[in-house]
Amino acid sequence: MIYADIIIDISSEKLDKTFQYRVPEELEQEIKVGMVVSIPFGNGNKIRKGYVIGLTDKPKVDPDRIKAISQCSSGQETTESRLIILAAWMRENYGSTMIQALKTVLPIQEKIRAKEKRYLCLNVSEEEGRKILEGLEKTRFKARTRLLRELLDKKRLEYTLAAKELGATSAVVGKMKEQGILRIEYDEIFRNSIDGKDIPREPALTLNREQEQAAEKILQEWERPEPRPVLLQGVTGSGKTQVYMRLIEEILAKGQQAVVLIPEIALTYQTVRRFYARFGEKVSVINSRQSQGERYDQFKRARGGGVQVMVGPRSALFTPFPDLGLIIIDEEHEPSYKSESTPRYHARETAIARAGIEHARVVLGSATPSLEAYSRAQSGEYGLVKLTARYGDRPMPQVSVIDLREELRGGNRSVLSRSLQEKMKERLEKKEQIMLFLNRRGYAGFVSCRSCGFVVKCPHCDVSLSEHNNGRLLCHYCGYETRKPQVCPQCGSPYIGGFKAGTQQIEKVVRDTFPGVRTLRMDFDTTRNKGSYEQILAAFAAHEADVLVGTQMIVKGHDFPDVTLVGVIAADLSLNAEDYRCGERTFQLLCQAVGRCGRGMKAGEAVIQTYHPEHYSIQASAAQDYQTFYEEEMSYRMLLDYPPASHMLAILGSGENEEVLTQAMHYLELYIYRIYREKDLHVIGPAYAAIGKVKDIYRQVIYLKHKEYKTLVRIKDQMEKYIEINSGFRKIYIQFDFS
């Protein structure tokens, strides 16, 4: 006997409620997860629509009390049912409950009332209305008379206007409604997320030869019976966006829709502008700063056919388009495409899975592809299409690498090397623009004692506190704040201070070095408010500043044609992270940073300041040489069995009680050895996670490495069951993280 877990009407009910139904024998072959079924529901056994979210042979209650499914409407697949199938895929491949997966995929299930406009409408015939008006004119009901006269004239009035101008109070309206003279109508207004007023429409640009050929090759791939995802590797400034737009046009012409994923909020302003200029009202955007209502509106518009192109971060992947034709992932290598909460999905793989369900296509774009994507393109699993030159034959920037140790030896203690200062002076004289990039977040780093080395840490989290502008110390994980100590708590030395090289500090140095220079700063502190990203970017684009100083958020994808110099203040900061990806991250960030200059008519140059000028990530990014970097990095991953040479599953355990956690993780380790005895599985740990404590919760981790993803998924499945039935795991929380 097969039983189906069913949710009823996902748009209005809470997802947590599932009901079990019996699958009649004649439907056993047919039934699948995601399918729409008809079921008797409630006391009256009224037939309702439900979605199958899981199948099992174990009844949850007495089998005699389980009702049977009446009918399954196969063939009639809906957008929701396809998204439910996707949720089931995510549950299986990333490890989570079905509810968690559904909530990720169908994020808006509670009814959020769309904003409504109310109208007053005449509810009687004109003739009848005139008669009533005659009668009313003889009475002292002035407001009612006025309102009826206006209604006879205009037939439909906006409620708020009528209230203001005609004194139609709710008492007046209520009375006339009661008498049947008027009725109230509602119009849903979908809050458009783009204010397109001042965005001029632009016709399609003519693609250059290389762009044209790239688009052509991708379209040819789509002609194949089983089109592969295509990696579009185009150097910075090669015009990948133009190729995307060409492809989107193709999709729209077929009556289908497209999703464009972009990595950062900072980017939406520019990208949305570009897409809006090209496709107008067909484009919408979602982002994490919108209210739930705003996002609901955009999804609803998408479902109803009011939008054909959705631009947004990771979560835009789940836009409920009726006939999705294309998913584009721009800056495919960005870490923000990986979710930090369960299910810890990666947008790249999930996009490919969704595309498989919807028969849609996937295009991944990057100047510096992730090792995962590039190795798959090498093996032929993805198609590979390249743009090798910048648009308009603009040269790639000239890059110089400056050894910061030499600077110190030469007596220069400024954060700006002599060479960078000279180049800045030159550019400022020519009235060109400059970007200075600091590879870290916030104002300043940790505070430490120069006598004994003591580092001030958060008492609740295993991280150092950062010093902020107001002289207070802040924990970026839990928000804990405290005053900066005057003397070292460990040895009493007064030489305790911050590592002062934050964006604010750099901005100050720039102002001191070049009196009269106009600067803008973009970092964690200056972008907290809604709209602040846009303001800073728009101001810089409008030449309201000569120098833009900022963290990672300034280097991604932006296109400022008058920037001719980029300075990287300290390239190594990201090399020191404890993560096997730090070489790749550094290379990508530096290439992107260098790629910001010389995009317009004037050639650009970049200065990379570093303590490790010989490091291959720095060398390769200075040469803008992806291939050499890839080969070097790949050999390191193979040597140490890191992804993509191998697959990795991190099992993260967290809990308040350190002893209970340690014990549970130990049991998990033993269990893994019990269920998998082959030598080809590497087990590392359990050990404390890189950050061993957050908000007083301890965190430990076990890493598994294996060549086959499927093997790790199987082990994860068994562990899930083991954890569920063993009481030792009640007080700890286990998460799975695949990479």
C-alpha dihedral (625, 628, 218, 596), degrees to nearest 10: -20
List, in sequence order, every residue forming a beta bridge with 285; answer none if it has no partner: 311
Vertex 614, ends 613 and 619: CA angle to 5°? 80
CA 326, 332, 336, 341: dihedral to nearest 10 degrees? Answer: 60
Q: Which is nearer to ligand ATP, 567 or 613 (CB)?
A: 567
Segment contacting ligand ATP by CB under 6 A, of 237-245, 497-505, 582-590, 651-659 = 237-245
Residue 488 contact partner, candidates ligand ATP, Zn ion, none, CB within 5 to 8 A by sort of partner: Zn ion
Q: CB 236 → ligand ATP: shortest distance, Å?
A: 3
Tokens standing for 414?
A: 């400024």
Task: CB nearer to ligand ATP: give 192 or 208.
Answer: 208
Piece of the chain touching ligand ATP by CB under 6 A; list 67-75, 97-105, 141-149, 207-215: 207-215
Q: Is 241 in the site for ligand ATP (CB under 6 A)?
A: yes
The angle subtended at Cα 70 by Cα 64 and Cα 73, nearest 5°, is 140
Instruction: Please identify, among the stretches 20-28, 184-192, 202-210, 671-679, the one whose residues bind ligand ATP according to the rule CB under 6 A.
Output: 202-210
Closest CA to 318 of 106, 497, 145: 106
Asked if 333 and 555 count as a contact pair (C-beta separation under 8 A), the reply is no
Q: Does 249 bind ligand ATP (CB under 6 A)?
A: no
Distances (CA, A) of 662 to 498, 627, 686: 35, 43, 8
452 marked as binding residue: yes
d(CA 351, CA 261): 10
- Per CB under 5 A, contacts with Zn ion among 114-133 are none
When asked if residue 205 is in the footprint of ligand ATP (CB under 6 A), the reply is yes
Distances (CA, A) of 57 to 5, 63, 148, 182: 11, 11, 66, 58
For ligand ATP, the binding residue among 3, 119, 337, 391 (CB under 6 A) is 391
* Binding segment (CB under 6 A) for ligand ATP, from list 21-29, 151-159, 229-237, 460-468: 229-237
Residue nearest to ligand ATP (CB): 239
Q: Is 449 in the site for Zn ion (CB under 5 A)?
A: yes
Q: How far apart are CA 368 and CA 624, in angstroms?
A: 9
Which of 491, 640 has the CB closer to Zn ion?
491
User: In this chain, which stretch among 96-104, 258-266, 317-325, 442-450 interacts with Zn ion, using CB under 5 A?
Assistant: 442-450
Nearer to Zn ion, 474 or 565 (CB): 474
Strand bridging mode 3-8 / 19-22: antiparallel
What is the distance between the alpha carbons of residues 599 and 560, in angstroms, rounded to a whole number?
Answer: 7
Based on CB atoms, which residue is closest to Zn ion, 457 or 508? 457
Considering beta carbons, is residue 150 or 210 the nearer one to ligand ATP?
210
Q: What residue type is assigned to position 137 of the chain? A: E
E strand segments, 415-470:
433-437, 447-449, 466-467
Asked if residues 523 and 441 have their Cβ atoms less than 8 Å apart, the reply is yes
Site string for ligand ATP, 208-227 (x = CB under 6 A): x--x----------------
Total chain residues near ligand ATP (CB under 6 A): 19
Is residue 238 a contact residue for ligand ATP (CB under 6 A)?
A: yes
Out of 39, 124, 317, 367, the only residue in the binding site for ligand ATP (CB under 6 A) is 367
**What is the rounded CA–CA span in Å between residue 699 and residue 665?**
10
Q: Which residues pair with 101 in a beta bridge?
A: none
For the chain, state the CA radius of gyration.
30
Give residues 579-608 in contact with ligand ATP (rule: CB under 6 A): 595, 599
Which of the choices ligand ATP, Zn ion, none does residue 451 contact, using the CB cut-off of 5 to 8 A by kind?
A: Zn ion
> Of 201-209, 296-304, 321-329, 646-654, which segment contacts ligand ATP by CB under 6 A?
201-209
Binding mask 482-511 for Zn ion (x = CB under 5 A): ------x-xx-x------------------
Of 211 and 552, the one with the shorter C-beta distance to ligand ATP is 211
Does position 108 interact with Zn ion (CB under 5 A)? The reply is no
Q: Would strands 361-366 and 324-329 be described as parallel, antiparallel, or unpaired? A: parallel
Nearer to ligand ATP, 273 or 423 (CB): 273
Asked whether residue 478 is marked as a ligand-binding residue, the answer is yes
> Residue 491: left if φ>0, alpha if ψ -120 to 50, beta else—which one?
alpha
Please give the single-letter amino acid code of residue 683: V
List CB contacts of 513: < 8 A, sequence separation 6 or more.
Answer: 414, 416, 421, 424
559 binds, among Zn ion, ligand ATP, none (CB under 5 to 8 A by kind): ligand ATP
Q: Does 234 bind ligand ATP (CB under 6 A)?
A: yes
DSSP-assigned letters across all residues of 96-142: --HHHHHHHHS---S--PPPEEEEEEE-S-HHHHHHHHHHHHTSS-H
458 annotated among ligand-binding-site residues:
yes
72 is in an annotated binding site: no
Which does residue 461 bind out of Zn ion, ligand ATP, none, counting CB within 5 to 8 angstroms by kind?
Zn ion
As measured in angstroms, the least distance from the Cβ of 493 to Zn ion is 5
Sheet holding 156-158, edge to edge: 156-158, 116-122, 182-188
Choice from 13, 323, 559, 641 touching ligand ATP (CB under 6 A): 559
Contact set with Zn ion (CB under 5 A): 449, 451-452, 454, 458, 460-461, 475, 477-478, 480, 488, 490-491, 493
| Residues contributing to the annotated binding site for Zn(2+) | 449, 452, 458, 461, 475, 478, 488, 491
| Residues contributing to the annotated binding site | 449, 452, 458, 461, 475, 478, 488, 491
